[in-house]
Amino acid sequence: MAIRDSRPSTEEPLINSFDLRSAGQHAEFLRTRNEYRGMAGSDTQSASTHLDTLIHHPSPLVLGLTALASISGFMFGYDTGYISSVLVTIGSDLDGRELLVSEKEWITSGTSLGAVVACVFAGYTADLYGRKLVIILCNVLFVLGALLQLLATKVVTMIAGRLIMGLGVGIGSLIAPLYISELSPAKFRGRMVIINCLAITGGQLVAYAIGAILGGYHGGWRAIVGISMLPSTIQLIAFIFLPDTPRYLISIGKHKAAHQVLRKVYLGCPSELIEASIAEIHQLNAAVPGKTELERLRNSASQLFSTPSNQRALVIGCGLQAIQQLVGINSLMYFSGTIFKMVGYSNSTAVSCFVAGTNFLFTIVAFLAVDKVGRRRMLLVSIPLLMCAQVLCAVAFLHMDVKVQQHDLGIWEWSILLGLVLFVAFYAVGLGNVPWQQAELFPQSVRGMGTSLATVTNWTGSLVVSACFLSLMQWLSPAGAFFVFAGITFASWVFIFLVYPELGSLQLEEVQELLKDGFNVQKSIYIHQHRLM
Ligand SMILES: O[C@H]1[C@H](O)[C@@H](O)[C@H](O)[C@@H](O)[C@H]1O
């Protein structure tokens, strides 16, 4: 907001009247403001940025709502993660016979397919009817999908259940990071969104672990599916009573309700400053014009595609989500068992847990580092290391004859294990979570629609990789497949280096201003460094 001079004439009197809690804080505020003025040629610092300087920890409300919103992330991870163990143990429970390969494929990819479809509509629905309502809707779909699978005696019911659950997964993957981004103060935003990523990778880990435990029992798969209804029911009930995001509330004119939420977000901060921040957010977030919903949909789309800052936001958001998937992570998440079996390791379930556990652990590293190190730097450092890990896997595969079923575990077999673990680890610290910060790229009026497109890109990429990976290994050999991933990873680094600015310390309303006349990478780095000081 400081990039745009939003409250030029009221700035000084307002500052004087604020009950700043200490001289140190005031000094800090003035220093930040002056440096920022110098950098951006602006005359003021926004009330929201000022509010940020007054708080030092996320408030209990921010933490609580983030944790509850992240249940959607958990469902995303759990629902995509449990299917491998269900398929192994389902036997002839459906239609009284073993499943055909094509049926297994439908049951597996049904969720991703449902997710792609749902993301197309979810964002715009959230722009129109609110973030909270969409969270409730996604839980209804989770529960409905799980119930159908739980009670299924026919293959077709099972596929329908997976598809409906997929609709929920798609909506949840979009709405949880959006809700958290709009709620969190800028300085904790990165970390709060990563809590949702921790829930995704945690959900995958729990799904593998529960699969390993219950998979051994006859009919255990129904319990694996049934368990998924518990977290979604909790989230469904909780969000009936919880508030929508302050930014959404402001966008529909509910300033009083927004004030109540913001007071708990910025605990102990002066009420006048919160008012000023609401006025700013209101002023900077003009609603999309239109009398009917169709008219507004048309205007939103044209605003999203024709405004230069939104075009750049789309390039970054969709680009990062495509990269997240095309480097091949889900070939490991879904097929690590197959890969390890090919290499000669026998216990594929344990191995899958190991891969999922690494993903989870290194997401914690990202959580601890993101707001200090910055999103851009985390990507630029972790991606070359990820590429080295992929090359290590490829070279190790070159030295093995994968057609031989039983290998002694020699140096190259161990190198593959090492390569895959490093692959997941370096992915988790950067690409696993930074693309999910997508909501910060778009302005309020088209945030839902913009994140929809980015999320559709993610799920399409995931579908393409999981559908093609086994064939790719056949056509090009496993070594060839990993060299392809390494090539994509290299190109990704160049893309990110050229176009991805550091958005870590900007208010959501400032990002648009930054992207107005270019990607402004250098400028963004400058702001980040100065606000961190
Ligand atoms: O960020 C997540 C996470 O990294 C998961 O492990 C992966 O399966 C998803 O596709 C990705 O979106």
Give the C-alpha separation, 130 to 239, whole Å.
12
Ligand 1 center from residue 183 Cα (angstroms): 23
Alpha carbon nearest to ligand 1 atom 11, residue: 432
Question: Can you give the pLDDT at residue 485?
Answer: 97
Q: Does the CB atom of residue 200 touch ligand 1 within 6 A?
A: yes
Test site for ligand 1: of 201, 206, 335, most ligand atoms within 8 A of the Cβ: 201
Q: Does the CB atom of residue 235 touch ligand 1 within 6 A?
A: no
The answer to whether 86 and 211 are in contact (CB under 8 A) is yes
* CA distances (Å), origin 428, targets 11, 19, 44, 203, 236: 42, 42, 38, 14, 29
Return the ligand 1 atom nearest residue 363 CA.
Answer: 4
The answer to whether 247 and 129 are in contact (CB under 8 A) is no
Question: Can you give the pLDDT at residue 3?
Answer: 45
Give the C-alpha separation, 132 to 246, whole Å.
11
Question: Can you give the pLDDT at residue 294?
Answer: 85
Kindly tell me the burial class for residue 66, based on how many C-beta atoms sit within 10 Å of its own C-beta (0-12, 13-18, 19 or more). buried
Alpha carbon nearest to ligand 1 atom 2, residue: 432
Alpha carbon nearest to ligand 1 atom 6, residue: 201
Neighbours of 287 (CB within 10 A): 14
Q: Does the CB atom of residue 438 touch ligand 1 within 6 A?
A: no
The distance of Cα 392 from the centroid of its chain, to the nearest Å, equals 28
Residues 6+ apart with CB under 8 A from 285: 247, 250, 251, 443, 444, 445, 509
Query: If phi over 0 gives left and psi between -120 and 50 gives alpha, with beta otherwise, what is residue 286?
Result: beta
Amino acid of residue 459:
W
Ligand 1 center from residue 344 Cα (angstroms): 26
Percent of the chain that is helix, strand, coil (3-state, to 5):
80, 0, 20
Question: Can you give the pLDDT at residue 387?
Answer: 98
Test site for ligand 1: of 74, 326, 333, most ligand atoms within 8 A of the Cβ: 333
Q: Does the CB atom of residue 197 touch ligand 1 within 6 A?
A: yes
| DSSP letters spanning 96-131 | TSPPPHHHHHHHHHHHHHHHHHHHHHHHHHHHHH-H
Ligand 1 center from residue 489 Cα (angstroms): 16
The answer to whether 122 and 458 are in contact (CB under 8 A) is no
Q: Which residues of the chain have pLDDT under 70?
A: 1-45, 403-407
The answer to whether 526 and 32 are in contact (CB under 8 A) is no
Ligand 1 center from residue 73 Cα (angstroms): 10
Ligand 1 center from residue 238 Cα (angstroms): 25
ipTM confidence = 0.98
Question: Can you give the pLDDT at residue 23?
Answer: 45
Alpha carbon nearest to ligand 1 atom 1, residue: 432
Test site for ligand 1: of 78, 82, 200, 424, most ligand atoms within 8 A of the Cβ: 200
Ligand 1 center from residue 109 Cα (angstroms): 15
Residues 6+ apart with CB under 8 A from 452: 119, 120, 121, 122, 123, 124, 174
| DSSP letters spanning 404-450 | SS-----HHHHHHHHHHHHHHHHHHHTTTTGGGGGGGGS-GGGHHHH
Q: Does the CB atom of residue 363 touch ligand 1 within 6 A?
A: no
Ligand 1 center from residue 475 Cα (angstroms): 26
Question: Can you give the pLDDT at residue 112?
Answer: 92
The answer to whether 74 and 199 are in contact (CB under 8 A) is yes
The distance of Cα 183 from the centroid of its chain, to the nearest Å, equals 15
Q: Does the CB atom of residue 466 touch ligand 1 within 6 A?
A: no
The answer to whether 180 and 196 are in contact (CB under 8 A) is yes
| Planar angle of CA 523, 527, 529, nearest 5 degrees | 115
SS3 call for 167: helix
Q: Does the CB atom of residue 359 touch ligand 1 within 6 A?
A: yes
Ligand 1 center from residue 68 Cα (angstroms): 19
